[in-house]
Amino acid sequence: MYLRTQTRKIKIGNITVGGSSKIIVQSMTKTDTRDIPSTIKQINKLEKLGCEIIRVSVPDIISVRNLKKIKKNISIPLVADIHFDYRIALEAIQQQVDKIRINPGNIKNENHLRTIVEACKSAKIPIRIGLNSGSLPQKNLPYNEIPEYMVKTAIKFIKMFESWNFFDTVISMKSTDVMSTVLSYEMLAKKVDYPLHLGITEAGPYPEGTIKSSVGLGILLYKGIGDTIRVSLTSSPEQEVIVAYQILNSLNLRNVSYEIISCPTCSRCKFNLIEIVQKLQKELQKYFSNKKIKKTIKIAVMGCVVNGPGEASHSDIGIAGGKNTGLLFIKGKPIKKVLPKNWIKEIMLYIKSMTEKY
């Protein structure tokens, strides 16, 4: 049975992370933060896809001074990602970002770190302690030693923050290795009640990064661990958001607009099901690109009667292939026979009529 690990609630702008709140999807821009229009445009596009928190990289003083303007033109909470220079973090707080992400290990001077924490406390801005396997204080650790070291490091910083009376903390401990990421989060979840931000870092391009993220995040989420996720891909940020929702939807934790259930085909299939499904996928992407749906619409497209009627009966719309034709099901009820060349048109017609009600 799915049982969510109970964590404390942290407010990031108008979004609550942790406790029993929904698992939040976030992403990061890939634009140059000095380029305000492109950054705003990308964020607004991501928001339309369901991104709920956005992080921007803030490598220099020009970027940090843009944050207020960027924030004014977006509706989701803005997180500043800062490394090395505590003055940039202080300026980001001045710019009223909704959260800052730091890796405390690369802000070498403890007084500087304390200055950031105290500034966040007085501005009521939460901090993510974001540890990464590639930038741990101890270098070249083998993957099997990373979890223990990562957890020890996270606890050290958590205790440091707590000694400064700061508790608005989210933690991440990302590794490029799935197993060490899973073990790190599992260990930490038993020790602290801070919300956990999950991710596999530098997961790679599509589809490899998608698979690593799905396996790693899937295991943790199934165990009830994780309050917010970011899928990190060497690909468009749009892809990151889409994949994040697919992962959550596959565990029934969030919904997506639609889900295609289709068979792999075999010699029983008497028409080009792969081509039909690819075309249908494009149509659905186009149709749902500007639509927000509260409930996932399940569409089954099956090659023959072996599993076709069964899958169709669990779906909102289903077609089970037969000899040169297919039987259309709506909410499990057989409706009519449809020729394969008309399947997409019929499915889209029913989807349009169903989504008008939502």
Contact residues: ligand SF4, CB under 6 A: 263-266, 268-269, 302-304, 306-308
Rounded to a whole number of angstroms, the minimum distance from the CB of residue 302 to ligand SF4 is 5
Rounded to a whole number of angstroms, the minimum distance from the CB of residue 320 to ligand SF4 is 8
Question: Of 241 and 302, which has the nearer Cβ to ligand SF4?
Answer: 302
Rounded to a whole number of angstroms, the minimum distance from the CB of residue 330 to ligand SF4 is 19
Selection from 13, 27, 21, 9 nearest residue 75 by Cα: 13
Question: Of 187 and 269, which has the nearer Cβ to ligand SF4?
Answer: 269
Q: Which long-range contacts (CB under 8 A, 24 or more apart) does 184-188 make?
A: 184/146, 184/147, 184/150, 184/151, 185/220, 185/225, 185/226, 186/220, 186/223, 186/225, 187/147, 187/148, 187/151, 188/151, 188/154, 188/155
Residue of minimal Cβ distance to ligand SF4: 303
Cis peptide bond prior to 207, omega within 30° of 0: yes
Rounded to a whole number of angstroms, the minimum distance from the CB of residue 285 to ligand SF4 is 23
Selection from 71, 126, 121, 114 nearest residue 95 by Cα: 71
Rounded to a whole number of angstroms, the minimum distance from the CB of residue 215 to ligand SF4 is 25
Question: Of 125 and 328, which has the nearer Cβ to ligand SF4?
Answer: 328
Question: Of 204 and 310, which has the nearer Cβ to ligand SF4?
Answer: 310
Partnered with residue 53 across adjacent β-strands are 26
Question: Of 195 and 303, which has the nearer Cβ to ligand SF4?
Answer: 303
Rounded to a whole number of angstroms, the minimum distance from the CB of residue 319 to ligand SF4 is 11
Query: d(Cα 272, Cα 197) in Å, to the nearest integer?
Result: 42
Partnered with residue 229 across adjacent β-strands are 25, 198
Question: Of 292 and 323, which has the nearer Cβ to ligand SF4?
Answer: 323
* Paired tokens of 13: 């702008």
